Structure 1
């Protein structure tokens, strides 16, 4: 069955390009989940629908985004474990036509040099035309104010691009994303380039990771959803691997020194095995597309990710938002542990 799926996907690539599909599919009813809401404790999921979740903390609040396919929405909450109680604010809807009018994927909200920026992938209805776009807002609260369209983020070579993320390190901005080598589709790789400012890239694009290992090729060869994590003099680029339509979607990791030239591929070391997933137990399948946050007191680190509650649910709106704490090993590398089952009760993040 796996070989049949792979052959079908290769045929799709040949006929015109195939990206890792994020557009919501029809929802299969989720198995009953017992939500714990007792003092100091909670259980996953924290949001019943939320592919490709992103969170950023600022001013005592968490701001959360995820793929909707047709708009950009921001949740604002003082309690991540109670995210489902927050009401999202739609801050942008796409134009009726044009290069950013369809398939709005994996938005990320970043506070850079005193302004808010949303990076999102979109196309004109044809997946091969997916590119990255940027919005800017000078308001203190990103759910308010005016979002200014900064247009396409012109990444080097202007190739198919999704899942961009940004890092400000040592006063230098970097952008990492998932892309194709050419315009014909095929495996997705992780690229990086410098940014001159928050919406202007400085080439060339440098490939950091390609789906080399078997666990990165399940269903289709995919490296996507890169996310930066900095700790102990090291920079980690945690990415999602394998086709999201399989239950084998998992997190891989690249590591570099925080003093290295991050646009030098030789500066990065790739982990030979997944660092999280691909699946756990009791309602945790297809674990991936993560983000991170730290509690206000700086004592706890949490990973936020999506997963399906049952096998075979694919890349649609069955993907719910989960979170769990993680630690760092003595060498500074993250230790994410295993995806916790839906039945497991967790202590709320400190401060909630």
Structure 2
């Protein structure tokens, strides 16, 4: 592990909810929310910093009306069973509202070797227990089982979103059982909004670690950490433990505000774990933070403590 490795931030300006996946072909694939919230882009490069100047390819655009017509948020690109999938959230526009907090989850599929060149097909809504606000889906495999984790509003629970897990029938269909593994309970998860969202998974040191983000999307936004033993039943909520403090948060010292909604990748040599996240370099925002475009994609090295837990440190200053 190279603890001296540093990246020149920001990696990509005005791309929030960043997802970086290093594929077996040696390329890093990137997608994230664009400021217009109207399309899904994918780009690739041989290095993490190379993503900065890589040409984005629009693989899908929102519809004019209907459930896929507003606020296209937080796409993630995954490679499952030799096909590419993008999970994303979308809302509907009506005459009275812009679809805010009316999201549902959807999936796209591409069978080309290079997802920037292939055709993407809609696999429809990824349906869960309720027809309520839901978003920020991610997926991971553990011991031959494919899991899906997402944020959703439970009609019977106060707040905006909790984290749920389910096994998958296929890459766009959930098995019937879903369980809640986290709900906002600490003060740092409940500033502005009661939020647990933006989950990402990394497996290391006999454990499954799951980061997530909490609170409003301004400078209060921060990352928390869940973990489970690799031998545990991941569908048992008791298997998941939550740290009582944020693991990554605003740093006045480094001038980074509201870091969160992360993904994980590895360094170019494959030896070092890298955190990919978004954040702003100023604190005060005019209007709704969701419509401030300057959440930039950033990267920095993760270290590990003697107990095998990730150490995120402070968000690094801009280069």
User: Displacement of 1:295 after TM fit?
Assistant: 2.5
Aligned position for 1:30: none
1:66 is paired with a residue whose SS is: strand
- Contact 1:280 1:341 (C-alpha < 8 Å) held by counterparts: no
Answer yes or no: is 1:233 the counterpart of 2:206: yes
Cα distance in 1, alignment partners of residues 252 and 151 from structure 2: 25
**Which of these residues, 57, 67, 70, is aligned with residue 99 of structure 1?**
67
Q: 1:211 to 1:185 in 2, by over 3 A?
A: closer
Give the Cα–Cα distance (whole angstroms) in 1 for the partners of residues 169 and 309 of structure 2: 29
Q: Which residue of 2 aligns with 1:272?
A: 244
Matches of 2:81 and 2:268, distance apart in 1: 20
CA displacement at 1:204 relative to structure 2: 2.3
Contact 1:107 1:120 in 2 (8 A): yes
- Structure 2: distance between partners of 1:140 and 1:44: 30
Instruction: Give, in angstroms, the shift of residue 186 of structure 1.
Output: 3.1
* Partner secondary structure for residue 108 of structure 2: strand
Give unmatched runs, 5+ long, in structure 1. Answer: 1-39, 344-352
Distance 1:205 1:318 in 2: 35
CA root-mean-square deviation: 1.7
String of CA shifts for 1:275-315, please: whole Å, max 9, x gaps. Answer: 11133533300111111101253311100111111102333
Whether contact under 8 Å (1:128, 1:183) holds in the other structure is no
| Cα pair distance change 1:290/1:201, threshold 3 Å | same
- Return closer, same or farther for 1:92/1:273 CA change in 2, 3 Å cut-off: same
From the two aligned structures, give the one with the greater helix fraction.
1
Aligned 8 A contact 1:157 1:205 in 2: no
Contiguous gaps of at least 5 residues in structure 2: 94-98
Corresponding residue for residue 4 of structure 1: none
TM-score normalised over the length of structure 2 = 0.91
The reply on whether 1:250 has 2:234 as its aligned counterpart is no
1:321 to 2:297 alignment: yes
Distance across 1 between alignment mates of 2:134 and 2:85: 18
Provide the secondary structure at the position in 2 that maps to 1:129. coil
Match of 1:57 among 8, 14, 22: 22
* Pick aligned residue for 1:164 from 137, 141, 147: 137
